[in-house]
Amino acid sequence: MVEDRGATATVEQALSDLFDAHYRSLLGTARLLLDDPGSAEEVVQEAFAQLWVAWRRLRHQEAGAAYLRATVVNLSRGRVRRLQIVRRHPAPAPDDVGPAEDVVLAREERRLLAATVRLLPGRQRECVVLRYYLELSERETAEALSISRGSVKTHLHRALATLSDRLEALR
Amino acid sequence: MNRTEELLREALRDEAGDTTSAPDAWDGIVAAGIGRSRGRNLRWSAAAVAAVAGVSALAALGVVLTDEDDAGQRVGTEGPATTTETTGDAVTTTAPDPGNERPEQAFVISVGNRLSQFNTAAGQTERPLYDREVDEATGAGRLGGLSLAPDGTVWFSMAGAPGDCASFGVYRHTIDTVGPEQVAVGAAPAVSPDGRLLAYAAYSGAHGGPDGEFYGCANTLVVRDLVSGAERVWLPAVDGYQELAAITRISWAPDSRRLIYDLNYEGSSVALLDTEVPGGLGQASMPLATGDVEVESLRSPVWLAGSDEVVVLAGEGTLLRVNVATEAVAEVARSMASYGLDADATGRHLLLTETDGTLVAVAPDGNTEVLAEGFAEAVW
């Protein structure tokens, strides 16, 4: 089999463009979804490598970014599941903190929210990260997770209710 | 946007941290992308991307990860993946057993009743093949009985309307054609390894109870010669309503002569059938024997390629390997609640579908990996 050198260059260029446009946001997504953020880079690189192989099978090459997002979510989910299977003791819930000055309070609120996001059920966590970190629309979030738009709304509603409750408790 | 959402956005940006792209990462992706597209599989590891260092450092040691001929033309490589390991100053390059690589392609039926091509590495569907709306009240239209033929065609069954046994169909889908083609009336299709025989559960007609109420479709096991069209039919022993026992999974032995199937009637059981033995299903079949090991609720049998071994699910999800000649039993893995099982063409990699829709790959060493969620059936 002789590989088409021109085709390889085309794929490399297309992937390179996607890398420049999306690598950083995908890396952040993986860090937020993984319980072991240290492996985020590995997950994102793996997603790009898989897209490389699958490139010619994509129905639309514009779908490359969506493919990457879905692959990062799936790869992260698999790793989280494996960790959950072996984990004997769940991670402790973040401690409540007392009242503080405004700046300190705002920082504590963000810290508390980030910690609470990590404790959300898997789907809720994925919806929150895709919607509020990647700034995807509900439709794009639904496509990335292969679920309905209605499910996205439900997961987000529940997640925001949980997060709001935690914030209220802090105040 | 309310205050919580605003804070959440800020919190997520903080938590995601510094995502400045490492220039090394792209080099690693290029090395892996080219390698995999040509049949190689460079594994990421911590130094994943030692890749980076990789390509240049290993080159300095005389190891080349990308092949180029004398004229500088890239040459693809066929065959098993090559793994390169570096320990201290020593570099070894080995071509592993092809059976160590799990299949990259599978076929799945989603919970939403869509048949698709599935990429096991990416953990997602790549290409929808067939959609069918389900009548939720009756189940009519639901796809199932997924299997692959040696020629790469995908076989499945579609539930019909209750009471209308002729509306249950066995279908064949050739990947590059528009839609599936109905081949028979029945369910649970399985094409023999030599590609010549189709086994399936046929419905000989609606079966009513003494009160005239419809109870189900009477099951028979049929083997059709796909060349001549000739069929041989095994009628189950008639014992009360036993003929209603449903055959939900059939798997051929490598010799294309014997097969193993499960029978669901007051619990599930698994039996072997020698298609060259005369007589009805009762005479030609014998229950799968497991020596001195007591097992219950055997189901989803799969005959492993090139062996006298089958794998079955037992009890609440234990995966067992059983030698049909010696009756030796070995536990392969435990799953949470599996109901679907398939093996790849090497017989070494298994694919489980759990009751919650999770797809789990089982490696030859018994290690499991979650591939994706949201599927009712899967084969590879």
* Average pLDDT over all residues of chain A: 78
- State percent of chain B over pLDDT 70: 70
Question: What is the torsion angle, in degrees rounded to the nearest 10, for the CA atoms of residue B238, residue B240, residue B241 and residue B247?
Answer: -30
> Which ipTM was obtained for this model?
0.79
In angstroms, what is the C-alpha Rg of chain B?
25
Number of helices followed by number of strands (H, E) in chain B: 4, 25
The answer to whether residues B217 and B206 touch, using CB atoms and an 8 Å cutoff, is yes
Q: Which long-range contacts link B52-57 to residues 24+ away (Cβ below 8 Å)? A: B52/B24, B52/B25, B52/B27, B52/B28, B53/B24, B54/B27, B54/B28, B55/B27, B55/B31
Looking at residue B95, what is its pLDDT? 41
Tens-place pLDDT, residues B178-222 = 679 999 998 899 999 999 999 998 876 555 545 555 556 667 889
Tens-place pLDDT, residues A18-46 = 988 899 999 999 999 987 777 888 888 88
Strand ranges of the sheet holding B285-287, from the earlier edge strand across to the other edge: B246-252, B258-264, B268-274, B285-287
CA distance B322 to B256: 19
- State percent of chain A over pLDDT 70: 77
CA distance A126 to B230: 53
Tens-place pLDDT, residues B7-45 = 899 999 888 876 555 656 777 777 776 666 554 333 333
CA distance B57 to A160: 49
Asked if residue A99 has pLDDT above 60, the reply is no
Asked if residue A88 has pLDDT above 80, the reply is no
User: Which residues 19-78 of chain A have a CB within 8 Å of chain B?
Assistant: 19, 23-25, 27-29, 31-32, 37, 41-42, 44-54, 57-59, 67, 70-71, 74-75, 77-78
What residues of chain B lie within 8 A of the CB of A106, using their CB?
7
Tens-place pLDDT, residues A109-144 = 888 899 999 888 888 999 999 999 999 998 888 888
Q: Which residue from A minimizes the CA distance to B36?
A: A53
User: Which residues 116-135 of chain B have a CB within 8 Å of chain A?
Assistant: 119, 121-127
Asked if residue B164 has pLDDT above 90, the reply is no
